[in-house]
Structure 1
């Protein structure tokens, strides 16, 4: 996978379309708080009413949610995650140049878009989480959208030296269900950053084992683990395998840089990561930096 060109930076006055491709919204106030952050940067969100849409547990029918992806706005900002975006991949999406922002269930769209060869995907805060993000995280997202280079991220060094490669981020559960589909970007030599929420350690083990059996982990140039919120307990107290032990053991023989505890995932302080951009992962220093 070669380096991808950066999307055209946003400018004050550019429009923003709210995209609700997944679960129905539960809190319109949080959505409005996120839109207010974008307005503070000089961006102009379109007048929409995605909060009112319902189709079962989803934010509208597949057609309604698919139509969100057809907006001409330079930034498509996803409202929330949950489940549902992968259903839209059953249709042919004509991805347009520009930016797509989101994480968690939005992994499906970010990966599909990257596989189609488009830069501008950002694994980062949703509109319903952006307002609660700390100042440094909001500023990092603004820098990426407006063409500036944010500072390096720090995590826990786990060794393996240093590598440079295209950056790919994902929710582990969502990405695991894309393996074997036509929506998986090139993993050879890539730096993969994984996060998850609410999965017991044995389930994390099961998913990483699936990646190993597919040969996917063995292709990577480096791997970073973000936050695995609520993933440190097994359902059965008699099972004592810890999350830390699973992450260490499943990557110990890869002989690539590994960094843990990066500020990425279902936490307040979810650092934005540009999909496909060249990055450097240093397993000895525990850092992840973008290559300008």
Structure 2
């Protein structure tokens, strides 16, 4: 085990000292609620960039939030795209849970490896602490398991690798803020500002499940996949050729997921072929969904994006999203 708690890098500030930070691109207000005073940074998947960690710590310090970089965050990786040993990563996470002063766990980055830890998480302690865990992409595995276990608060959001830049965008900031303080009737301003494409019309409501498509597919058949019946499924991906998107959606169809959900929302698919190819694939599966299918949602590996709390109640009507936010 690398290091003891006394060796953990710690940034101490007076919690009420700052409410915003000038990052050079303008003032960023604190999107976190007042009770978030200590954030633990962990690497659930790949090894992060040190400069990105420093930038995020500076940002949080400006908000009056103390940060702790857990001791194995920069542990050497095992190989190309293989993260550091699972034992080190899960040790950091469980240690953060045991620290009663930690109010939130922030993932450093995605990559690969989150699923390796699911049978080693102290789920009882996470349920008892009920603190937020932020991340997305490969962290989808962790979030799905959290929701299935009813342990902690899973929020799909930017990680340390992009948080300072992402929070400069009003959509990202507003959605992250509302994830902590749900406001019934809050409207995500998508229909007016974004080029959404309604592939299949309809109205729907249900618990929103915001995930990475590839990771979701790999979770099928495990005890860490929550019940998706009636859910609003929001998917995104990165660097997957169109035939793989077709493969994953076929898997969801054959597993009965598409017929069970109330709506399918398609987020950003950066470097996943061209839009025309993707829309053909999405249209092919639209009839398998008993509800609306909409593409172009600002969600995924982008800076200006939705931040969403797993299980938030969503209503969809003519391309507008109403977050009832009943958790």
TM-score (norm. length: structure 2): 0.78
After superposition, residues 128-143 of structure 1 pair within 5 angstroms as 128-133=161-166, 134-136=168-170, 137-143=172-178
Match of 1:39 in 2: 61
Match of 2:148 in 1: 115
Q: Does 1:174 align with 2:215?
A: yes
In structure 1, runs of 5+ residues without a counterpart are 1-8, 235-240
Deviation at 1:281, TM superposition (A): 2.3
CA, structure 1 residues 252+41, in 2 after alignment: closer, same or farther (shift >3 Å)? farther
Q: Which moved more, 1:16-25 or 1:60-69?
A: 60-69
Distance of 1:41 and 1:148 partners within structure 2: 22
Distance of 1:211 and 1:76 partners within structure 2: 30
Q: Which moved more, 1:188-197 or 1:251-260?
A: 251-260
Deviation at 1:290, TM superposition (A): 1.2
CA, structure 1 residues 167+40, in 2 after alignment: closer, same or farther (shift >3 Å)? farther
Distance of 2:305 and 2:59 partners within structure 1: 15
Runs of 4+ in structure 1 over 6 Å off: none
Deviation at 1:18, TM superposition (A): 0.5
User: Which has the higher Rg, Structure 1 or Structure 2?
Assistant: 2
Secondary structure of the 1:67 match is helix
Secondary structure of the 2:314 match is strand
Give the CA RMSD over aligned residues. Answer: 2.2
Match of 1:67 in 2: 91
Secondary structure of the 2:112 match is coil
Q: Does 1:152 align with 2:184?
A: no
Secondary structure of the 1:180 match is coil
Deviation at 1:151, TM superposition (A): 4.0
Distance of 1:224 and 1:24 partners within structure 2: 30
Deviation at 1:167, TM superposition (A): 1.0
Distance of 1:144 and 1:49 partners within structure 2: 28
Match of 2:110 in 1: 81
The structure showing larger relative contact order (alpha-carbon pairs under 8 Å, at least 6 residues apart) is 1
Residue among 19, 26, 50 paired with 2:42: 19
Deviation at 1:258, TM superposition (A): 1.5
CA, structure 1 residues 148+65, in 2 after alignment: closer, same or farther (shift >3 Å)? farther
In structure 2, runs of 5+ residues without a counterpart are 1-31, 191-195
Q: Does 1:225 align with 2:266?
A: yes
User: What is the aligned length?
Assistant: 275
Q: Does 1:164 align with 2:205?
A: yes
CA, structure 1 residues 173+31, in 2 after alignment: closer, same or farther (shift >3 Å)? same
Residue among 279, 283, 307 paired with 1:244: 279
Residue among 139, 145, 158 paired with 1:106: 139
Distance of 1:52 and 1:189 partners within structure 2: 40
Contact 1:153–1:262 (8 Å) recurs in 2: no
CA, structure 1 residues 111+47, in 2 after alignment: closer, same or farther (shift >3 Å)? closer
Secondary structure of the 1:259 match is strand
Deviation at 1:74, TM superposition (A): 1.8
